[in-house]
Amino acid sequence: MADFQHVYETPPDGANADWTVSQNWDAFSADEHAMWDLLFARQSEMLPERAADAFMRGLDVLKLSRPGIPDYRELNARLLAATGWEVVAVPGLVPDDIFFDHLANRRFPAGNFIRRPDQLDYLQEPDVFHDVFGHVPMLADPVFADFMVAYGKGGLRSLEYGALDHLARLYWYTVEFGLIQQPDGLRIYGAGIVSSFAESVFALDDSSPNRIEFDLMRVMRTEYRIDDFQQNYFVIPSLEQLRHVTVNTDFAPLYRSLEKLPDIAVADILTNDVILTRGTQAYVQGAGR
Ligand code: HBI
Ligand code: FE
């Protein structure tokens, strides 16, 4: 997840200045490896018809189907060969500038812990399953890999403009909760969806949420909720389009405009929206989770 409760300013004891730690793979227990296997089995069963082709290719290239929590040393050999990205272990959420600096340098910070059995379906801080199963397959795609570098560089710049909140929404509605229109239908690629059993179904099949064509300014104005299913999903036409708009847009003038434009509430529809599915919002009206 990209949002969080507490972020410390200085790295915890035992962490490096850039907040990385050892994954300490040898210390995972049999129960912890079994937790990965359980989560993996649940997701991989339903994803072939639901996840983007790029995501499924990434699972395959990285050999994530092997049993147990992936050892980052082994995973990195494959990921580096695919796109020059690598995974670095972190103890939890890291400060924004540290996070963006890692991305800008093709390092994806991933949790060095796995959720407990009572957190099967929801946890606040990103663990190895969310980070590695959810995020890393897409990083094996060359186009998405370049988009994420551009995002990291843009993140560092957004801090100078005081525009972090706006840029964080781009991450939320693409990297975490994005949908993509493939020739053979709508698919999920956002890590928050593909790593969630219930949301993998909800995001594609439920009649409740709106599904709206991606528009950069629209997304950067839109609030989001971190504690339940999304009420809006934004649909990109292709990964190339996402890369293109992120790499080729000068965000500075957009940030200036955003200062004067009101935020858009979670389920509001604008007259300019291209709506692919108009949601009933029945899920929220039924009090949600
Ligand atoms: N730290 N480990 C970790 N994972 C994240 O997704 C993350 C973070 N720190 C900051 C952050 N995300 C957000 O600021 C960005 O997603 C915008
Ligand atoms: Fe995430």
Exposure class string for 115-129: b at 16+ Cβ within 10 A, else e: beeeeeeebebbbbb
| Ligand 1 interacting residues, C-beta cut-off 6 A | 2, 90, 93-94, 96, 99, 109, 126, 168, 171
Q: Helices 164-171 and 142-160 sit at what angle, rounded to 10 degrees?
A: 160
Q: Considering every ligand atom shown, identify the ligand nearest to the alpha carbon of residue 148 and give its number.
A: 1
pLDDT tens track for 205-230: 999 999 999 999 999 999 998 888 99
Percent of the chain past pLDDT 70, that is, above it, reads 96
- Taking only the tens place, the pLDDT of each residue in 6-57 is 455 789 988 999 999 999 999 999 999 999 999 999 999 999 999 999 999 9
Whether 5 has a pLDDT exceeding 70, the answer reads: no
**Which two structure tokens, joined as six digits, stand for 124?**
């606040």
Over the stretch 183-200, which tens digit does the pLDDT of each residue have?
999 999 999 999 999 999
Q: Which domains does the chain have, with CATH numbers?
A: 25-285 (1.10.800.10)
Q: Whose CA is nearest to atom 5 of ligand 1?
A: 2
Q: Bigger pLDDT: 8 or 111?
A: 111
The response to whether 166 counts as a known ligand-binding position is no
What pLDDT sits at residue 51? 98
pLDDT for position 123: 86
Residue 2 pLDDT greater than 60, yes or no: no
C-alpha to C-alpha distance for 115 and 38, rounded to whole angstroms: 12
Is 176 flagged in the annotation as binding? yes
Report pLDDT digits (tens) over 61-74. Answer: 998 888 999 999 99
Going by alpha carbons, the residue nearest to atom 7 of ligand 1 is 2
pLDDT-derived band at 121, boundaries 50, 70, 90: confident
In this structure, the residue with its CA closest to atom 12 of ligand 1 is 2
Cα–Cα nearest to 279, from 224, 231, 212, 210: 210
Q: Ligand 1: distance of its center to the CA of 178 in Å?
A: 16
Q: Give the E-state strand segments of the chain in sequence order.
A: 86-90, 107-111, 179-182, 185-188, 210-213, 232-236, 275-277
Both structure tokens of 280? 């009933």
What are the C-alpha distances in Å from 122 to residues 3, 139, 204, 230, 266? 13, 23, 19, 14, 21
Residue pair 18/87 in contact by the 8 Å Cβ criterion: no
Q: Is residue 3 pLDDT above 60, yes or no?
A: no
